[in-house]
Amino acid sequence: MKTRLRFGSRIHTRFGEKFDALVHRARFLEENGFDIVLLDDHLLYGTVSAVALDPFAAGAAVAYGTKKIKVGVAVTDLVRRHPAILAQSSSTVTVIANGRFVLGLGSGDMMNQAPFGLPTDHRFDRFREGVKLLKMLWSSSIDNPVSYKGKFHDLTNAYLQTGLTKEAWPPLYFASFGERMLRFTGEEADGWIPHCHTPETYGKDLAKINYSSERAGRLSDQAVQPSYYTVASIATSRDKADADVVGPAKFFLALIPEALRKIDPSIQHPGRIWEKNPDPRAQREMIRKIATTIPRETALNTVIHGTPSDCIEQVSSYAKEGCREFLLTFTPSSGLWSGDEMLPIAKLFSEKVIRYFQEEYD
């Protein structure tokens, strides 16, 4: 029997909305066959339309207000959040959600670190050490305290009292692009949650993760759950769906030059020049300007878009490369921060795409 594909959606609140709107969207997605909802972890976005809530507090409320859908943070980092605080926060949401919580981790971005005086150097080394401490603290207890002296953190007879056994730890999904992060994902992660791939580049990076996993002695075929986190738009008209999604698709490729280089090395990208500007709103405009130089088809080749049959074909292409979980940010005509306008799009996707794969794989 084929492994069933799973589908999730990012949810958020826009400026001026009450929090109930977030829980309402999660319940709607749960009722329409989605497997997981995802919350960002930002201190700021650089746009007045957005609201940057703490995803652990918000996620706990969403979990409490739903019955079976999983709740994930995609993604946080171990710079803004000390490993001990993150271990406790994620364990708390796991308890409230009765095990329905997923923790996405990345190395962080300067836009959410530099304005607050947080360190932006040694990103990979901080990430690797933070993951080590996270797991040490999850395994600690009053009878089994842990000590550690590292480059960035020290622990001395430290322990947490989360009440979780190892079997109940939340799964760790890594957002990885570079070679070291891909290897580390294979060694330590439970899932992979990248952005901005074509099916071909996705398959190549997943092969690297699987190779690393095997070398680390993790012999299970599903040691690392392969996911894909991308923007999506579905409509009865291919032109309408493409028009709604192409802007965000270009923006994310501009934001992640490493991904663009993998997809098409011939496209010129100036690098992360916005990181030299201290103003987050100015940074966002610089990224937008870079996005205008990215070819339309290059961007569209990295997202799920078009009519239902188009979306089925694209999902199938990623599934053939090994992807088993599609985590989507739906893009209404009114933009990413449109609120309930994403619900009809999600419903159409559920009725035409999710239902197709349920029948195909079950």
With 90 as the cut, is the pLDDT of residue 63 above it?
Answer: yes
Share of the chain above pLDDT 70, in %: 99
Q: Is 34 helix (H, G, I), strand (E, B) or coil?
A: coil
| Stretch 197-223: mean pLDDT | 93
Place of tokens 């150097």: 121
Average pLDDT in the 293-301 region?
Answer: 97
Model pTM above 0.85: yes
Residue 7 phi/psi, 5° resolution? Answer: -135, 140
Mean predicted confidence (pLDDT) in 143-163: 97
Cβ atoms 180, 198 nearer than 8 A: no
**Helix, strand or coil for residue 328?**
strand
What is the gyration radius of the CA atoms in the chain, in angstroms?
Answer: 20
Over residues 280-294, the mean pLDDT reads 94
pLDDT at 260 exceeding the cut of 80: yes
3-state SS assignment for residue 152: coil
Backbone φ and ψ of 8, nearest 5°: -135, 170
Q: Give the amino acid at 356.
A: Y
Give 224-248 pLDDT, tens digit per residue.
Answer: 999 999 999 999 999 999 999 999 9
7 — pLDDT class (breaks 50, 70, 90): very high
Cβ within 8 Å of residue 223, ≥6 positions away? 186, 213
56-71 CB burial, b ≥16 within 10 A, e <16: bebbbbbbeebeebbb
- 296 residue type, one letter: R
User: Which residues are 84's β-sheet partners?
Assistant: none
Write out 257-298 in H/E/C secondary structure.
HHHHHHHCCCCCCCCCHHHHCCCHHHHHHHHHHHHCCCCHHH
Q: How far apart are CA 121 and CA 3, in angstroms?
A: 40
Does position 46 have pLDDT exceeding 90, yes or no?
no
pLDDT digits (tens, 9 = 90+) for 321-361: 999 999 999 999 998 888 899 999 999 999 999 999 999 87
Grouping H, G, I as helix, E, B as strand and the rest as coil, residue 233 is strand
Nearest to 213 by CA among 189, 193, 236, 235: 189
End-to-end CA separation in angstroms for the chain: 8
Nearest one of 16, 44, 38 to 25, comparing CA atoms: 38
What confidence tens digit (pLDDT) does each residue in 108-131 have? 988 899 899 999 999 999 999 999
More confident residue, 301 or 362: 301
Q: Return the minimum-mean-pLDDT range out of 149-158, 220-229, 302-311.
A: 220-229
pLDDT band of 362, cuts 50, 70, 90: low
pLDDT of residue 296: 97
Over range 157-167, report the average pLDDT: 95
Q: What CA–CA distance (Å, rounded) separates 194 from 191?
A: 10
- The answer on pLDDT for 306 being more than 70 is yes
Compute the distance between CA of residue 213 and CA of residue 184 in angstroms, rounded to an integer: 9
User: Does the structure show a pLDDT above 90 at 214?
Assistant: yes
Residue 162: CB partners within 8 Å, gap ≥ 6?
A: 87, 88, 91, 92, 95, 138
Tokens of 255: 């934001």
Where is average pLDDT lowest: 53-67, 77-91, 186-200, 265-279? 265-279
Q: How far apart are CA 195 and CA 248, in angstroms?
A: 12
Helix (H) or strand (E) holding 73: strand 70-77
Beta-ladder partners of 70:
36
| pLDDT tens per residue across span 90-111 | 999 999 999 999 999 999 988 8
